[in-house]
Amino acid sequence: MKTFARLTGCALALGTFFGALLAAPPVQAQDFSGKPIRMIVGLAAGGATDVMARLIAQKMSEGLKTPVVVENKAGGNFIPAIRELVAQPADGHTLFFISTSTLITQPLHPDYPFDLTKLTAVSQVATGPLILVARNSLGLKSVKDVIDYANKNPGKMTFGAGGGTGSSLYFALELLRSKTNIKVTVVNYRGAGPALNDLLGDHIDAMFDAMPVMVVQAKEGKVTPIAVTSTKRSPALPDVQTMQEAGVPGYEMPGWFGILAPPGVPAEITQKLRDEVAKAVAIPEVVKLLDSQGMQPLGTQPKEWGDYLKSELATYSKMIKDGNLKPE
């Protein structure tokens, strides 16, 4: 496993804009009761979820005039992160920045101790597809190449799963395996950042990830983009096929990011936080950045976000049951 310094370097690959976010001092508290806000991320630093959280935290800090500090609490299928969240007062000063991975963990593990739909929904931040990429030295260019290589080398092709067996990145692979019957070896990581490090170092063969990090890696020629998981091509990488175009019928898996809070946060506090999220994703430089990374900014209302979570939970629960998908 590579060092944290190298892991952080993967996050900085998004450019000087994100680099400034990682290094920027917090805005001095003048509002929101003058108490710093913690934004917990249940994954390691350097992946798309962490980078997106830092972007939104910085912009919320500026709007609220209160420091919003990102804390990484990786591992344990997000349970340590959620346990930390629900132990805090319902005052809006502790938030949980999640991705599709966080939600999928719940139906994938029948004995999961938390129900994310019971937490306070603040806002859905952004949405966009996941992307399948391969290490350049492997020479694969298409989904057909991936399938052929896996079939010729059963069990030998390695896929990194950032966030482990409960993540959307793992689930995206499981969906591919269920539809193509390829036999590959899964290597679990505490986040997409460490998985990307090993992909760049030729220690694993391929991985799924969210667009924000991989668009940059692909455009810089550091990884080979294979296909996106949406039904339409991404404007950020218009030459990359969708899974369905590439011959995997019925394959669709969107990625998204959103914010939750402990149960029972008062409606007026929740609304204030949501409004700051909406302002953050409407800033022209943020809109331009998200668009360049294949993400659509949202900033939805709390009820809409809560209803969407319930719908997504039902969708993935059915997919897991129908596909008989289980964590390794």
User: Given this model, what pLDDT does residue 212 score?
Assistant: 83
Is residue 327, in this structure, part of any structural domain at all? no
User: Given this model, what pLDDT does residue 144 score?
Assistant: 97
Considering only CA atoms, which of 95, 146, 16, 20 is closest in space to residue 257?
Answer: 95
Q: Domain tally for the chain?
A: 2
User: Given this model, what pLDDT does residue 279 score?
Assistant: 97
Which residue has better confidence, 220 or 291? 220
First and final C-alpha spacing in the chain: 21
Q: Identify the sign of the CA torsion 112, 117, 123, 125.
A: positive
Q: Do residues 214 and 100 share a domain? A: no
User: Given this model, what pLDDT does residue 283 score?
Assistant: 96
CATH label of the domain that carries residue 180: 3.40.190.10
Q: Do residues 122 and 259 share a domain? A: yes
Per-residue pLDDT reduced to its tens digit, 76-95 = 889 999 999 999 999 999 99
Is residue 246, in this structure, part of any structural domain at all? no
User: Given this model, what pLDDT does residue 262 score?
Assistant: 98
Asked which of 228, 246, 281 is the last residue of a domain, the reply is 228
Which residues fall within 8 angstroms of residue 139, CB to CB, at 6 or more apart? 145
User: Given this model, what pLDDT does residue 328 score?
Assistant: 62
Q: Do residues 159 and 221 share a domain? A: yes
Q: Tokens representing 123? A: 């806002």
Is residue 182, in this structure, part of any structural domain at all? yes
Secondary-structure percent of the chain, ordered helix, strand, coil, rounded to 5: 45, 20, 35
CATH label of the domain that carries residue 26: 3.40.190.150
User: Given this model, what pLDDT does residue 5 score?
Assistant: 37
pLDDT at residue 14 is higher than 70: no
pLDDT at residue 22 is higher than 80: no
Is residue 165, in this structure, part of any structural domain at all? yes
pLDDT at residue 3 is higher than 60: no
Is residue 244, in this structure, part of any structural domain at all? no
Q: Do residues 194 and 263 share a domain? A: no
Q: Do residues 35 and 173 share a domain? A: no
Cβ proximity of 66 and 30 under 8 Å = yes
Is residue 247, in this structure, part of any structural domain at all? no
Q: Do residues 115 and 91 share a domain? A: yes
Give me the phi and psi of 56, to 5 degrees please: -70, -40
Q: Do residues 110 and 151 share a domain? A: no
Per-residue pLDDT reduced to its tens digit, 253-309 = 888 999 999 999 999 999 999 999 999 999 999 999 898 888 899 999 999 999 999
Is residue 240, in this structure, part of any structural domain at all? no
Which residue has better confidence, 255 or 73? 73
49-53, 134-138, 148-152, 298-302: range with lowest mean pLDDT:
49-53
User: Given this model, what pLDDT does residue 185 score?
Assistant: 96
Mean local confidence (pLDDT), 32-52: 88
Q: Do residues 293 and 309 share a domain? A: yes
Q: Do residues 196 and 124 share a domain? A: no
Strands 68-72 and 37-41: parallel
Q: Do residues 124 and 11 share a domain? A: yes
Instruction: For residue 108, name the pLDDT band (cuts at 50, 70, 90).
Output: confident
Instruction: For residue 213, name the pLDDT band (cuts at 50, 70, 90).
Output: confident
Q: Do residues 41 and 92 share a domain? A: yes
Query: How far is Cα 43 from Cα 290, in angstroms, rounded to an integer?
Result: 20
User: Given this model, what pLDDT does residue 168 score?
Assistant: 81
Cβ proximity of 57 and 25 under 8 Å = no
Instruction: For residue 166, name the pLDDT band (cuts at 50, 70, 90).
Output: low
As beta bridge partners, residue 127 has 256, 296
User: Given this model, what pLDDT does residue 33 score?
Assistant: 63
Cβ proximity of 166 and 255 under 8 Å = no
Mean local confidence (pLDDT), 43-50: 87
Q: What are the helix (H) ranges across the chain?
A: 4-12, 16-23, 48-64, 79-86, 100-108, 143-152, 168-180, 192-200, 211-219, 267-282, 284-292, 302-322
Q: Do residues 23 and 122 share a domain? A: yes
Per-residue pLDDT reduced to its tens digit, 222-245 = 999 999 999 999 999 999 999 999
Range of the domain at 29: 4-128+254-322
79-93, 132-146, 179-193: range with lowest mean pLDDT:
179-193
pTM above 0.85, yes or no: no
Element (H, E) at 37: strand 37-41
Query: How far is Cα 230 from Cα 58, in angstroms, rounded to an integer?
Result: 29
Is residue 235, in this structure, part of any structural domain at all? no
Asked which of 228, 245, 277 is the last residue of a domain, the reply is 228
- Considering the chain, what is the average pLDDT of its residues? 88
Asked which of 228, 243, 273 is the last residue of a domain, the reply is 228
